[in-house]
Amino acid sequence: MEIYLRDKEYNWKLHKGILQELQKEFDLRKISIGDRASIGNMASIGNMASIGDGASIGYGASIGDRASIGKLDIFTKEYIYIQLGLLPDEKGYLTMYKAVTKNLTDFYSEKYQYKLNKGDSCEAERNQDIKCGDNCWHFTNLWEAIEFADKRPYKIISAKIHIDDILSVYDKVRVKKFSNVKVVDINFSK
């Protein structure tokens, strides 16, 4: 790891080493970095800053002295809105989308059959470390679904998903339950 830290005169100085070797420098400045936190290139972090578990600091970000970034709750409607641009309705349901084959099977195995006006459920626990798999389903926003189709013959389906049934959140969500599958008409030439 290479990181620039300020000295007592507020001059930036490059420090190199593994995290354990740099811990003394962090301790001197009262900087703490939580588990699974990531810090992008050119980010600057002031003295006495605290970065919680799972937090992410992007390229070129600047965090002032004494700033605190808490543990991120990725299952909030606000975070889902930031990641996908979708907000749940007043009952906590999101309308989400998926690209599927023309006969409404999944692209990955072409074995799972989505059924109109129906849904499905599986047994699984929330786990942000699992992005794909786990015998559950993935849905996203409309534009990501269209992009995923990637010039293959496809249909877009929508489904209702309750925010409590989301198992992980990325550019798509992994879910344990969905309902009310519909085919979405996305003919842009009209």
Q: What is the mean pLDDT of the chain?
A: 82
Question: What is the spatial distance between Cα 147 and Cα 186, in angstroms, rounded to a whole number?
Answer: 13
Mean pLDDT of 1-13: 73
The residue with tokens 């309308």 is 95
Q: How does DSSP assign 145-171, residue by residue?
A: HHHHHTTSS-EEEEEEEEGGGEEEESS
Global pTM reads 0.63
How confident is the model at residue 31, as a pLDDT?
Answer: 74
120: how many CB neighbours lie within 10 A of its CB? 17
Whether residue 95 is predicted with pLDDT greater than 70 in this model: the reply is yes
Task: Identify the band that residue 98 occupies on the pLDDT scale cut at 50, 70 and 90.
Answer: very high
User: What's the average model confidence in pLDDT over 74-100?
Assistant: 91
pLDDT digits (tens, 9 = 90+) for 124-138: 999 888 888 778 999
How do 68-69 and 137-139 pair as beta strands? unpaired
Output the CA–CA distances (angstroms, integers) from residue 93 to 79, 178, 190, in the order listed. Answer: 15, 10, 29
The residue ranking higher by pLDDT, 55 or 21, is 21
Task: Quote the CA–CA distance of 65 and 147 in Å, as a whole number.
Answer: 41
